[in-house]
């Protein structure tokens, strides 16, 4: 059987959660099903070492040229010209060519929709992007053979926001696994932390694109409350990540809260820097107002970090009983949770052990098994 995969999001310089998902799930699918052939559709050929599948005999790489509307003009035409037996889209957008009933009969299609955050927080996206996400979601729910979602929360969101279309669609939950981070030696981690001014400093860390729904303004104000205690004034809050749409001036927020020296903004970090930051932190804090899944939960638990996070549905679904929860709108409750997770050693040890246990619920092998069962 020939399985086509939109691999356009699996290669790139600055990978976000969606791109990392694409890379991990494609590798898991190919490892799970060596009896099948795979055709990967790409915007460009991968650089050396960029893609784990490069050079595999069962893999055909097809580079499609159109730079704009690549999914519809490039991938869509390729599917009409030489269709595979099935197609997997790991990032939301099904080509418009699937409106043609002949292609739908010929090619079984499976699409992953990661979240409906643009419906919860429309101002976090440019208008054109928001409209495109909305239309592409409606299209996938109507024309895809199966829609894969990362969580029960996203499934519920699709049924809520697109009830008439979604009730007729096959929507299946396939929890992703933890995203791998490179191994970083103690010496290299020390050099990275020293460069960031964090070596030997107790800190909590948050890694992710800096945007309003991540709720970082409230986090900064809660941290400022915490560090007014002279015994905790040495602690730092590290916010690592590049600015997203609707980017906030978090330096100004830190200054307004009187926490300039207590908050460290690193900007975008490489995978090696991220691994070093997680390795050296005392805790991971995740105050997001909305997530469709929450990869940082599993990343923190994989690194043996105690986790404090929002009491929001997706994070509760993923973290289970292995997190210290707080109301993301209550700065006093958030500050109390931060104090506890930074200072209560018994609770910290409990959360680390619970995190290791919780991670066993998630694997890329299980995720790929569910997706493959809907492709073949």
pLDDT at res. 247: 62
Nearest-10 Cα torsion for 369, 159, 329, 241: 40
Q: What distance in Å separates the CA atoms of residue 328 and residue 342, rounded to the nearest whole number? A: 18
| DSSP run (H or E) holding 216 | helix 216-227
Q: How far apart are CA 156 and CA 211, in angstroms?
A: 24
Provide the pLDDT for residue 10.
87
291 in Cβ contact with 215 (< 8 Å): no
The pLDDT of residue 308 is 98
pLDDT digits (tens, 9 = 90+) for 152-199: 999 999 999 999 888 889 999 999 999 888 889 999 999 999 999 998
Helix (H) or strand (E) holding 40: strand 37-42
- The sign one gets for the Cα dihedral 318, 320, 322, 327 is positive
What DSSP letter does each residue of 257-290 carry, written as one string?
A: TT-TTTEEEEES--HHHHHHHHHH-SEEEE--S-
pTM of the model: 0.92
For residue 304, give the nearest of 350, 362, 270 by alpha carbon: 350
Residues in the chain predicted with pLDDT less than 70, given as ranges, are 13-14, 49-52, 54-56, 245-247
| The pair of three-digit structure tokens given for residue 28, joined into one six-digit string | 């898991």
Q: Tell me how far apart the alpha carbons of residues 250 and 264 are, in angstroms, rounded to a whole number.
A: 10
Q: Is 180 exposed, middle or buried (0-12, 13-18, 19+ CB in 10 A)?
A: middle
Q: What domains can you pick out in the chain, each with its CATH number?
A: 2-175+362-375 (3.40.50.2000), 186-359 (3.40.50.2000)
Q: How far apart are CA 247 and CA 211, in angstroms?
A: 5
**What is the tens place of the pLDDT at every residue in 233-254?**
999 999 998 887 666 789 899 9
User: Cβ distance 157 to 116 under 8 Å?
Assistant: yes
Sign for the CA dihedral angle at 36, 42, 47, 52 comes to negative
Instruction: Quote the strand ranges of 69-145, DSSP E.
Output: 86-89, 108-113
| Helix/strand number for the chain, H first, E second | 16, 13
The residue written with tokens 């494609």 in the block is: 26
Give the residue carrying structure tokens 């697109």: 162
Helix (H) or strand (E) holding 346: helix 345-359
Closest CA to 44 of 10, 21, 82: 10
Q: What is the pLDDT of residue 329?
A: 96
């Amino acid at each position: 059987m020939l399985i086509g995969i939109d691999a356009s999001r699996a290669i790139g310089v600055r990978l976000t959660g969606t791109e990392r998902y694409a890379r991990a799930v494609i590798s898991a699918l190919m490892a799970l099903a060596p009896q099948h052939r795979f055709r990967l559709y790409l915007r460009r050929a991968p650089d050396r070492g960029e893609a784990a599948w490069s050079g595999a005999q069962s893999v055909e790489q097809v580079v499609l040229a159109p730079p704009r509307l690549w999914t519809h003009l490039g991938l869509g035409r390729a599917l009409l010209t030489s269709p595979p037996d099935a197609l997997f889209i790991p990032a939301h957008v099904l080509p418009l060519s699937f409106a043609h009933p002949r292609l739908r009969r010929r090619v079984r299609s499976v699409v992953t929709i990661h979240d409906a955050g643009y419906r919860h927080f429309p101002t976090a996206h440019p208008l054109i992007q928001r409209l495109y996400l909305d239309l592409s979601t409606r299209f996938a729910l109507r024309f895809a053979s199966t829609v894969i979602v990362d969580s029960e929360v996203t499934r519920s969101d699709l049924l809520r926001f697109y009830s008439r279309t979604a009730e007729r669609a096959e929507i299946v939950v396939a929890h992703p696994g933890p995203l791998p981070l490179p191994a970083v030696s103690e010496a290299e981690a020390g050099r990275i932390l020293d460069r960031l001014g964090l070596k030997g400093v107790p800190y909590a860390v948050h890694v992710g694109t800096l945007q309003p729904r991540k709720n970082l303004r409230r986090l900064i104000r809660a941290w400022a409350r915490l560090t007014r205690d002279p015994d905790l004034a040495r602690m730092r809050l590290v916010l690592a990540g590049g600015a997203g749409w609707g980017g906030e001036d978090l330096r100004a927020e830190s200054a307004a809260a009187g926490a300039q020296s207590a908050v460290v903004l690193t900007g975008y970090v490489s995978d090696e820097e991220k691994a070093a930051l997680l390795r050296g932190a005392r805790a991971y804090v995740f105050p997001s107002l909305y997530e469709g899944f929450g990869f940082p939960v599993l990343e923190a638990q994989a690194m043996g970090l105690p986790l404090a996070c929002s009491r929001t549905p997706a994070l509760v679904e993923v973290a289970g009983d292995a997190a210290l929860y707080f109301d993301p709108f209550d700065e006093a409750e958030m500050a109390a949770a931060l104090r506890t997770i930074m200072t209560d050693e018994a609770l910290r040890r409990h959360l680390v052990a619970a995190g290791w246990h919780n991670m066993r619920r998630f694997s890329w092998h299980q995720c790929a098994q569910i997706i493959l069962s809907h492709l073949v």
